[in-house]
Chains A and B, each alone.
Chain A
Amino acid sequence: MNFSQAFKLAVKSLRTSKMRAFLTMLGIVIGVAAVIVIISLGHGMEGMMNQQFDKLGANLIQVRIYGAGDGSTRTVSPEDLYALAKKYPQYISGVSPYVISQTKVRFNGEDYQHTSIYGVSEILFNSDKGHTIDGESLREGRFLQYIDVSRHQNVCVVGTFLADQVLGGDALGKTLSIGGVPYTVIGVLNKSADSAEGSQDDQLYIPYSNAIRINAAAAADKAAAAGITGGTGGTYSVDGYLVTSTDRNTAAAAKGLIENRLFRTFQDTDAYFVVTASEMMDSMNAMVGTMMVVLVAIAAISLLVGGIGIMNIMLVSVTERTREIGIRKSLGAKRRDIRSQFIIEAGTTSAIGGLLGILLGILLASAAGMAIGGYMSAQMGGGTFNAVPTPAAIGVSFGVSVGIGILFGYLPANKAAKLNPIDALRYE
């Protein structure tokens, strides 16, 4: 008995009882569809994240400085890293220090505690691309310039919360108080979240040199309040750097250079942390991947249940067709012939179930993609959400469903193959 004969026979017997065949397949259909939907959505999310990273620049390297932690004042100044960039222009294309300032913004007698204040340099803004290293663009005005940073100018670039909610829309040229010092708004960023207080839109940029001064002053105040006199509050430096490598392929080399330079100063790898965008992307992708594996494993339980359903119905089918098995054996069918007939029948059932599941899964995934794509896009600040399964996912889920049919079809098929021909022929 060859395969195509057995396959035709399997299709024939599925056709004679369509309802039963459909219900038998349903477990596989649901399981495969669930797997396809999960993989499609995960794939879409991964794609969206990758777009984000591409936009930010795959060449971005974040450097965080913690300090040696032993009370020493050793540090790496912006000038040190500028020198490094100058020395290796083939690897490092830009360095912007950043300082997180712990003070608050005041306007019209009201404090805004949730505003994030970043001290940065003009290099943060790439005027060729029209956005900052971390992807923000200007709605109006201009970004910080070299002269602002070198001269400690009291100017700031604000997010939409401050511009629209606090300053009332027409923000350019207005003055805010930061750490008690008046700053003039020279630029407004585009909205990247929902413009609410404390959101990503509640932020402002000032020259990093100014931010260092603000932090030093705040620490001195604190020290004075605590009764320590004569202290300057230590040396205040930057919290970290945003560095860009010349392109995505030189990011790893640039990271190595920066780490070497930092180690030379600190002699301690715990004093700093350097991470490239592609490393961050890898770890995000790994996270999404792990999540997908867990979800797919849960969906696979449905495949298992579907397999048991197939086994059950095949056992019924073997009993119903005992006489047919007897006839076939009397005509010279070997055990192997009978076994392969039933295994192919089970495999065909689950293969058709798998195909239906793949179709259903693609439909559901694209529907879900359309429904949540816009929301995802708004949440992650742009990018398109494309919920389509990978060809590998389709291939594997089809293969798995056929495999389940064969696996769970084996026991009933073997039972059929072992029937005694005399008893089988006499079976009513």
Chain B
Amino acid sequence: MGHLIEFRDVYKIYQMGTEAVHALDGVSLAIDQGEFVAIVGQSGSGKSTAMNIIGCLDVPTSGSYHLEGIDVSTLDDDQQAVIRNKLLGFVFQQYNLIPKLNVLENVELPLLYAGLPAGERRQRAVQALERVSLADKIRNLPSQLSGGQQQRVSIARALAGHPSVILADEPTGALDSHTGREVLGFLQKLNAEGDTVVLITHDNSIAVRAKRIVRLQDGRVIYDGDASDPRAVVQPADSGAGADAGEVRI
């Protein structure tokens, strides 16, 4: 017992016709309370699969995944839903707000599924919106907000349930660089306040804002260590896919 997130020799194998694709090929990984970890990799590296498994949206083919000591791989759909609700907060690239609901209602959603009474839901949602400086927009519809504001609403939604882990999947992907930096700043601030943040990205310039980088390639961890180490941002030449825009080479 100890780690917040623990992968032990996790395989995720998809059957594509006659060919077995190893999206995760024996990944072992541990993340502790209070860390800010970026999981980096190019498309096809397995980072999305890793994020789905961390987010309890998917289960490993073999190996085990423990979240707060719970072996998630053995849970059924509804039990996974409860884990997502209580322990995880998602921030997506496309914000994924529900357009019919206003800002407050969107932020209240996870609390609604947690079964909290209306008064407490509202109070906690407003608190979360205050943390992202959007308490004045609670009656607005998502479509009335800018991209950066919408992403902050989704961060507030992730925060509202007081999760153990905030899981951000390419949170700046749909934003311009200025707004992207602003959103990253929020994530750093949350981490500074004690929240555990796991960031999934293909972009080194974003990954380096984390404290620790886990680099995946072809379903394997090829680097796991401090973000300030120059080796953290080396993309091996044999990947064949070419350098990403924000990639730093040495």
Contact = CB atoms under 8 A, between A and B. Distances in A.
A336 B78 CA distance: 9
Contact of A422 (B58, B100, B113): B58
Nearest to B157: A331
Range, interface on chain A: 20 to 34
Interface string A9-39: 1001100100000000000000000000000
B17 to A, nearest CB: 19
6 contacts: A5-B112, A9-B100, A332-B85, A333-B81, A334-B82, A422-B57
A328 interface: yes
Main secondary structure of the interface of B (DSSP, over half): helix
A17 to B, nearest CB: 11
Interface residues of B, number: 24
Task: Classify the interface of chain A: helix, strand, loop or mixed.
Answer: helix
B75 to A, nearest CB: 12
Given A328-B109, A330-B84, A421 B98 contact: no
Contacts of A336: 78
Interface in B179-227: none
Contact of B110 (A331, A422, A425): A331
A153 B161 CA distance: 103
Given A335-B77, A336-B78, A330 B96 contact: yes
B109 A421 contact: no
A1 B112 contact: yes
A324 B86 contact: no
A337 interface: yes
Quick one: which of A5, A330, A332, A425 has the most chain B CB within 10 A?
A: A332
B96 A323 contact: yes
Contacts of A337: 113
Interface in A318-350: 323-324, 326-337
Interface string B55-87: 101100000000000000000011001101110
B57 A421 contact: yes
Contacts of A422: 52, 57-58
Contacts of A2: 112
Contacts of A324: 98
A5 B104 CA distance: 14
Nearest to B55: A330
Nearest to A324: B98
Nearest to A15: B100
